[in-house]
Chains A and B, each alone.
Chain A
Amino acid sequence: MSLETTFFAVSFFCYAVSSILYPAHLFLKPAKIFEHSRLFLRTGLLFHTFALILRLNSIGMLPVSNTYEAFSFSAWVLVLVFSVLERRWGFSSVGSIVAPFAFFSLAYASVLPQKHHILVPFLKNYWVEIHVSLSMLSYATFILAFGTSISYFLQEKLLKQKKSNPMSLQLPALTFLDELSARLVVIGFPLFTLGILTGILLQESRWGVLWVWEPKQTASLLTWMIYGVYLYSRKVAGWKGRRSHYFLIAGFIAVVVTFLGINVFISSGRHRFM
């Protein structure tokens, strides 16, 4: 087993443990469980980083050339963004979404062919790396916003039930979750827009057209519109609370579709390699 694969396996294991501990912390009080879940997640992130650095070193570019690399890299971005923001915002309940996400991403990735796919000369452009990074960063924030929405719905249900429930204390306050969701999209939406724009520029430079109605591009446009409407409803129309979170659920589904929109054999598919 190569060093990279070892690091990958360790990281995978850490994410697995963390995926059990984060939800466990919601149900049980001991602060130790929370500390351990965080520890495992961050350790997993560390080893994952090593694995990616090794790959980056050997292939000379961002590891995003095939499905295996895409899943691994996007999981890494998600955990990284979460770890950074968790420190500042204290919304660790969302770890119950992030850790399993990372776990399943790596689980799926581990059964895919790992050999780095040599890209056609056109794609060996650093703008491609920027386009992919921007997209993945924005996906990370949108997935986190999904996490805060779920936490919001959960907390709301507990409060409406009017029974004293210890889980309610483990989750952040309701309006705080509402605010965090908005903050995440405010960060993610511009990144996503830039991601789309860089994609458009790349497409223009290679194929001479700005837009093609291929599955991935269409899906990303739909995603963009959903989050755009969400932001509009909140900032301009002043919406708050339950109904604005429906957008985030819809947006999340759109993100999943966009990311997985790996078109295989449709002739006009630009994203055939992803």
Chain B
Amino acid sequence: MNIFCMGVNYKTAPLDVREKLTIPEEDLLPSLQTLRESLPECEWVIVSTCNRAEIYGASEKEEALNAALVFLEKKAEASLSSFLYTYTQTRAVEHLFNVASSLDSMVVGEPQILSQVKTAYIHSMKCEASSVVLNTLFRQSVHTGKRARTETQIGLKPVSIGHAAVQLALRIFGDLKNRALLIVGAGEMAKVCARHLKQQGVQTLFVANRTYERGLKMAENVGARCIPFEQLHDQLKTVDIVISSTGAQKALLIRDDMQKIMRARKQKEIFLIDIAVPRDIEAEVNELDNVFLYNIDDLQNIVSENRDERRREIERVSLIVQQETQHFLSWYKTLEITPILIALREKFESIRADEMHRMMNRLQHLPEQDRETIRAMTVQMVNKLLATPMNTLKNISVSENDKRIYLEALREIFKLDGASAQNNERDKKNEP
């Protein structure tokens, strides 16, 4: 059985390639159907997020890899050779566990990937595109992701300005659902911050720009209402979070202004994010009560402090991934071996039982005790004969190909045909 992963991610393929390969949740089931039709004796799971598009498969057949490639290139309507990566067996398992633990994400430690992985395999499970092997693999990957998050601090500290802003907002306001956001100015960073905050629940957004048309564009982009620039101070009396990013040379907001605004707000807490250089908001504004002003350096400091700590946490998560990979592989090994071992034992046992039976007739003259001794000896002999090969097989550490050859050889040499039928039975029941 071969486990493999084939796909592209943000490291190997640019956005325009990934866009073509993205499969939204509603298209997962039909895509899985297509894959199953192209190769029914293969388990399939599709993981598609904004960072990656990957197909995971498990099959005895060599053609599985080709089937996956055909599917992907058809979707992309182009050759993907320079962007595609393929992992097999141990490397594939390790990769999936890394993905689930967010080590392979653009923002290491991001929380969404875990639920995305879960969704992927639940869909496969529902339409029975996946079976014992991939179900177990993905279940364990979710377990690994959970371990990574609870046993390390990987998810705790933000590594991008947007995340830092969100985390601070959550520390100030707790729930962001009924909060209002005002964006002053324009710019990519402001947009990103706004999107992050919106993702966390902020529903009311305003935009103000000295040039009304530019304000309208930004407002359209993020889903906000554009207000005339003159109403800025008035709007500050009602919003909770402000992102300021204008190109102005002088500060827009000075301490005295803010003091008046705070009075009008009855001292309701306000979070000011000033990412403009030169700064839009006077530094002294932070001295006011209930005002929390963070400029670009403050946010960068938080992020870079966190990056170093995150390196430590990444190492810890890698360790967890290693452990879980080993754990999965030992289960996986027994999956293949167990039916063969059982078949082998059964074969030996049936021979022993036959011979014993025939012997019994000729040993009638012996007392019961002696017959029993002989019987016990036959059992022990079979056990000893089997002990070495069984142990060797269980602890074998050769390449996958060689292992398959060993098992096939065993099957062939001992004529363990019953093993294949039993294989399927046991596959359904085997869980680690």
Contact = CB atoms under 8 A, between A and B. Distances in A.
Interface of A: 29, 31, 155, 159-160, 162-164, 166, 168-169, 172-176, 178, 237-243
A31 B150 CA distance: 9
23 contacts: A29-B153, A29-B156, A159-B168, A159-B171, A160-B286, A162-B301, A164-B157, A164-B301, A164-B306, A169-B156, A174-B171, A174-B174, A175-B172, A175-B174, A175-B269, A238-B266, A240-B266, A240-B267, A240-B268, A241-B267, A241-B268, A241-B289, A242-B289
B253 interface: no
A242 B266 CA distance: 11
A31 B173 CA distance: 23
Contacts of A238: 266
A176 B175 CA distance: 9
A166 B313 CA distance: 15
A256 B298 CA distance: 41
Given A175-B174, A241-B289, A162 B156 contact: no
B172 A174 contact: yes
Given A173-B172, A175-B174, A160 B292 contact: yes
Contact of B289 (A155, A166, A176, A243): A243
Nearest to B286: A160
B170 interface: yes
A41 B252 CA distance: 51
A247 to B, nearest CB: 13
Nearest to B170: A173
B121 interface: no
B29 to A, nearest CB: 38
Contacts of A172: 174
Interface string B143-179: 0000000100100110000000000101111110000
Nearest to A166: B156
A237 B266 CA distance: 8
Contacts of B289: 241-243
B290 interface: yes
B230 to A, nearest CB: 26
Interface residues of B, number: 25
Given A163-B301, A166-B156, A175-B269, A241 B171 contact: no
Contacts of A174: 171-174, 269
A159 B175 CA distance: 17
Q: Which of B157, B267, B298, B305 has the most CB of A within 10 A?
A: B267
B294 interface: yes
Contact of B171 (A155, A163, A242, A243): A155
B292 to A, nearest CB: 5
A240 B290 contact: yes
A239 B286 contact: no
6 closest residue pairs by CB, A with B? A173-B174, A241-B290, A176-B174, A241-B267, A238-B266, A242-B289
Interface string B262-285: 000011110000000000000000
Interface in B218-267: 266-267
A168 B171 contact: yes
A159 B172 contact: yes
Q: Which of B168, B172, B175, B301 has the most CB of A within 10 A?
A: B172
Given A175-B172, A175-B174, A175-B269, 19 more contacts: A31-B150, A159-B292, A162-B298, A163-B302, A164-B302, A173-B172, A173-B173, A173-B174, A174-B171, A176-B174, A176-B175, A237-B266, A240-B267, A240-B268, A240-B269, A241-B267, A241-B268, A242-B289, A243-B289
